[in-house]
Structure 1
Amino acid sequence: MERLEVHGFRNLADTQLRPHPHLNVVTGPNGAGKTSLLEAIYFLSRVRSFRTRQNDRLIGWGAEEARVVAVRGHDRLGAARTPGHTRLRLNGADAHTRSALAARLPVQLMNTEHQRLLLDGPRVRRQFLDWGTFHLEPDYRELAQRYQHALRQRNAALRVGDRRSEQAWTPVLIRCAAAVDVARQRFIEALRPIWSEFARQWLGLESLELRYYRGAAAELPWERVLDEQLERDRTAGFTHRGPHRADLILSRDRIPAADALSRGQQKLLVVALLIAEVKLWSRQGLTPVLLIDDLPAELDPAHLHTVLDTVTGDPTQVFLTAIDGAALPTDLPPGQWYQVCEGRVSAMV
């Protein structure tokens, strides 16, 4: 981003920034607005918050709307939230899909909640899979939408016992499942060696594994999977197997990482996964933005230095927050430093 404007967003005063193309460090006390600045960038990319499911809460006290605008290369992106409604803009015209902004502003977030990727249920990891695959596979969004539509139609037929509709939608579901599955597998195959190298270097452990579970036995074609589950699906009224049940398995010696590793090791394992995705995007010609919220609170100084050295070794644009800049390594590359005080963001000379 060459320019960022934030208006009426959370506790932030109206802000106009010209971020550094590589490293941006944002310091300030708790509650000053550091995380809100990262949240504004995240909202512009994903059209949602990482702190709340209610986007109306993004609107600052007394403001009519929360609005974020960025200039990036030849594109001008905008997202505004008024009560009950979000409006997206791209290059002076309304954008009708979230993917229009997301494709132009790939954002990755690392914060105190990132360990949920390992400890929470499969749904969180499927979101990671979908977000990563979307940025590498041009047709993935349409494939995933077709799969979800076919799944809803088949489930509706199963619930009411409509055999004709069920039999009509099953072949469609099979074709879509195969396409989604292949796209996700390509993403994981590309991601795995990058993640594996980071994880091995940072944790000093062997036998770490990243596996994709596709939502059914790996060796069976989807037609056979659905055929074997048919009576069970009809009895329950929904489809038991498919990409909607996929998962990402992180383990050591086939033992789930949540059981085999300490909490500190788990944090590093997930950080390696998130940074590996950013590295993969960059290698594929994308220009991701990495948002890192208060990493000094999560990692010890030695690992903090290692991770930040890895992050800043590429030309990825980084926004890094910290309560105290003194907690960060002293050998960070040149960049722009900002201070946030009571919602006001000021560039530090």
Structure 2
Amino acid sequence: MAIIRKLAITQFRNLNQQYIEPGERLNLFIANNAQGKTSLIEAIYYLGHNRSFKTKSLKELIQLQHQQFQLDAKVDESRIKLEKSKQKTQINIDQIRLKNSSELSKVLPIQIITPDKGFIVNGTPKNKRSYLDWGVFHVEPSFLLNYKNYNKALKNINTLLSQQKNQELDYWFLEISKLSADISQSRNKYIEQLKNTNSNELIEGLSSLFNAIEFFNYKFKSGWPKEVNEFDHNSVYQYLIKNKDFLLKSKYLNYGSHKASLNFFLNKKEECFLSRGEQKTLSIVFWLTQVSLMVKNNIFPIVLIDDLSSELDTTKIKTILHFLNHLKIQTFMTDIGKDLSFIKDENPVIFIINNGIIKRQ
């Protein structure tokens, strides 16, 4: 069970030498705009992913007049320390240096619900793949290696296509066909598991979030044309061989697992025809379904919720928090704190942030 017991943030945006001891369930951070509440969420997210959900620019994250930032946390019985500068990244778990970020994500799995990251329903294919693969990674052990090898094969294929080198293409076509079939199978299996998670308990728990939740559905899009059986590597391979001349002309592989997506429906209505309110609410239903599936697999992610009061009414927010408390999930939520009486039943640990200073109430 992932629970942050202690957290120290140094020179990250406007947070400097801040230390907190969060509660095991709901932690509420109240602040006006530009005081540091989103920076806190971003710092925790960074600690679990070794990247930001807001920017790719390291310069924006490190405080002015400083050369690096540092994040240090006790997660259950483990200690995670992340130091980042322009020259290097150093991540240690229990004083052992990590070679890649995937190990970090296993120790500190994080799900985030924020308008800044974009809603998944009617979102971009890239954002949909990001959330989809986050879930697959945590329940399918072979997925990460297949994903890395797929990207390596894709890079080689695109290099050969751009250089008009025909000789080695067949070999890499076969490699990427096998990897793509495995990735499609893993993704589709995960989607089916999510659908099975839509139990009566889930529907009942989230019914006040959306009163037609039982009509919410989603379908996996593999990234390959309809004539290709994405689960059969021979079908993928034959398609690539058949279209080799076209691919040499286009100079890149325009189909494949790197183009996969999800299609969402409500009562058979496509996502693009749903209202903005329906899209964002159903996005949250999907994210909470992912969390529920992880808990069923005995993986307890930390959930970050940033600035949802600007998007949802109090009834919906209360439903989300009650659902997460029922799952025994540690949650970090930010708000401007106008009227939070509706949250009191969830027994939050409350922190106030003012000008980058975090104090427990």
Shorter-chain TM-score range: over 0.9
In structure 2, what is the equivalent of residue 172 of structure 1? 175
CA distance in 1, matches of 2:59, 2:344: 40
Q: 3-state SS of the aligned residue for 2:219?
A: strand
In structure 1, what is the equivalent of residue 332 of structure 2? 319
CA distance in 1, matches of 2:216, 2:28: 32
For 1:26, give the aligned amino acid: F
Structure 2 CA distance for partners of 1:21 and 1:200, relative to 1, 3 Å: closer
CA distance in 2, matches of 1:117, 1:53: 20
For 2:265, give the aligned amino acid: S
How well do the aligned residues superpose, as a CA RMSD in angstroms? 2.0
Within the candidate set 199, 203, 211, 1:204 is matched to 211
For 1:89, give the aligned amino acid: N
In structure 2, what is the equivalent of residue 138 of structure 1? 141
Unpaired runs of at least 5, structure 2 = none
For 2:64, give the aligned amino acid: W
Q: CA deviation at 1:224?
A: 2.4
Q: CA deviation at 1:138?
A: 1.6
CA distance in 2, matches of 1:82, 1:71: 22
For the 8 Å contact 2:82–2:89, the answer to whether it is kept is yes
For the 8 Å contact 2:177–2:236, the answer to whether it is kept is no
Structure 2 CA distance for partners of 1:245 and 1:14, relative to 1, 3 Å: same
In structure 2, what is the equivalent of residue 273 of structure 1? 286
CA distance in 2, matches of 1:330, 1:203: 19
For 2:62, give the aligned amino acid: I
Task: State how 1:1-349 maps to structure 2 within 5 Å.
Answer: 1-194=4-197, 197-198=202-203, 202-205=209-212, 207-216=215-224, 217=226, 220=229, 221-228=232-239, 229-259=243-273, 261-324=274-337, 326-327=339-340, 329-348=342-361
CA distance in 2, matches of 1:194, 1:243: 25
CA distance in 2, matches of 1:7, 1:119: 37
CA distance in 1, matches of 2:313, 2:37: 21
**Identity score, percent:** 25
Q: 3-state SS of the aligned residue for 1:202?
A: coil
Structure 2 CA distance for partners of 1:64 and 1:108, relative to 1, 3 Å: same
CA distance in 2, matches of 1:226, 1:328: 59
For 1:293, give the aligned amino acid: D
After TM superposition, the structure 1 stretch with the greater mean CA deviation from structure 2, 164-173 or 212-221, is 212-221
Instruction: State TM-score, norm by structure 1.
Output: 0.93
For the 8 Å contact 1:27–1:325, the answer to whether it is kept is no
Q: CA deviation at 1:114?
A: 4.7
After TM superposition, the structure 1 stretch with the greater mean CA deviation from structure 2, 222-231 or 316-325, is 222-231
Q: CA deviation at 1:141?
A: 1.1
CA distance in 2, matches of 1:7, 1:309: 32
CA distance in 1, matches of 2:322, 2:143: 33
Instruction: State TM-score, norm by structure 2.
Output: 0.90
CA distance in 1, matches of 2:9, 2:45: 12
For the 8 Å contact 2:48–2:108, the answer to whether it is kept is yes
CA distance in 1, matches of 2:140, 2:250: 34
CA distance in 1, matches of 2:333, 2:235: 49
> How many correspondences in the alignment?
347
